[in-house]
Structure 1
Amino acid sequence: MSRTDRMIALGREALLEVTGFFSEEGMKPVPLYLGLPEAGVGAAVKRDELIKALLAVARGRLELAGMYEGGRAGFFEALVAAQTDLRTGRSGPVALVGAVDSLCDGMSLRALAAKQLHLGALNPDGRIPGEAAGFVLVARPAAARTSSREALGVLLATALGEESRPFARAVPSMAEGLTQVFRQLRGAPAMGSQRVDSVLACQPGESFWSTEFSRAYLRNAALMPEPLRFQVAGEGLGDCGGGAGPVMLGAALFPSARQQREASRALLYGSADGGRIGACVVGTSPVS
């Protein structure tokens, strides 16, 4: 299957989880904000074909509001756009935010191999190709309170940034972009002076990304968990590109049995190879 075909299959499967919401009579089409792969990483994606196939799953109950080709940052860019439109009233009371990506097709694998980016004998610090898709329904607070569906969490802060020395340049990371993104989160009104309880990264397992996080972490220690709870998508999922964002959000919204007994704040972030960065902090309530 091509990269586009694999993304369609993944996206359809994920959308089937929420199609029941779109079947309500009299409901206006819900706007979709979709994160997509960044250009130059893996095979080309037929965007029109992908969007057409995904919208067909909702049978007219979903309309495209925006596409964000930010790779691992794309989901967060889509989330910020949806949040802005909800706050300003440019959209209805709810929006669907998602992302889909695959690096497991033949052309993408050959592209990774040509650049020796994959894990192997020639690059023991490489990445394992992966794929994922996911969607989350976000709503204005008033709409969430009156809905019959239980809210899984609350979006406390979002931030976007750009790294001037990204992975794609093959130079040492100074983490200036990620540092600034974490500072934006620290300054969000809803954060106050509280720390987050965990950090979830959408990154592959390469040492470049651990160095980037370590430097940004030290410059924003007051925001970080103590002791540090840090989970990296690449350790269990490989490099899912833009698809890692919603999956890691799912991990934050459905924590371990021990964590379910207490309220928590999770920081999620994604850094693209080309330098775009996105992040958010999500609060969850204890489960009785």
Structure 2
Amino acid sequence: MTLLGFGLLTWFAWHSHEELSRLIANCDIGLLTLSIILGIAFTFIQALLFATLVHKHGNQTSNQTLASAYLVSQPGKYIPGKVWSLAMQSFAMENRVRISHITFANIELAIVSTIQTITMGVALLYFDSPLIAILASIAGLIACTIAVVFPLASWLERLAPRLSSAAGLSTAQAGLNPGIPRAIGLNAASMTTNMAAAWCVLLAAGSGIPDADRLPILSSIYLGIAAGILALPIPAGLGVREAAAAGLGALLSPTLSAPMIISVSLLFRCWQIPVDIGCTVLGALLTRHEKVVDSQHPD
């Protein structure tokens, strides 16, 4: 499956290389830089959501340690196996958090991310109908909040007590409920920053993307990202995201051309690389800063 994903991505890149090269060549460097900064900010908010989910399962490791571990683990999503991000997070936390807690937090965050991207895709699809777009956004925000505050420990202890005990998710060990206001704030900030970053990418491409096509293209890309998250065997949804975006774009807006959607999807894939590099560097700096502070203020 991994080879299939890489093969699809390579084929898409070759088939659309002229259009992609034109988009990249005409990009506004200032807007592209701003989009990268916003992309890093979005991932940092996701890291805070990850820390919130780990705390919910009873671990009291600091937010900075958990968030920095999530940030430095970004390269792991490109490695086949779907376990390397978890392994990198555990290593960065110096095994202070049970791997089961890290695993469940990642699963819950993947669910939240899927809801977020579907919400934004649907809202953009119905952007011409403000009421529907607003209702879809509110429904998505509620669903994300429920996913964050959901009492997984108590449900798992009730339905599968042996698994709950083995995973260390008993209610006696569960942490404090993250709180609805915090969950709403983090999810709203996450989706807002994500949308701002994506919109800056489209604006950076300038006239390469017709104004009338920007909203339906971005809607298709968000829905394609959701499909990529659900494509568990393929690292980072390579190829699946682009194929789903093209297929959904053709289905939802027949006026869009598949080559245009694919080339813009690949532009976002190229944009993701410096974002992930920036997140990894930021995570490493946060880890180093925490170690310096700990050495200056030993217990």
Q: TM-score, normalised by structure 2?
A: 0.28
Question: Which of the pair has the greater relative contact order for Cα pairs under 8 Å at 6+ separation?
Answer: 2
Q: Which has the larger share of helix?
A: 2
Q: Quick check: which has more Rg, 1 or 2? A: 2
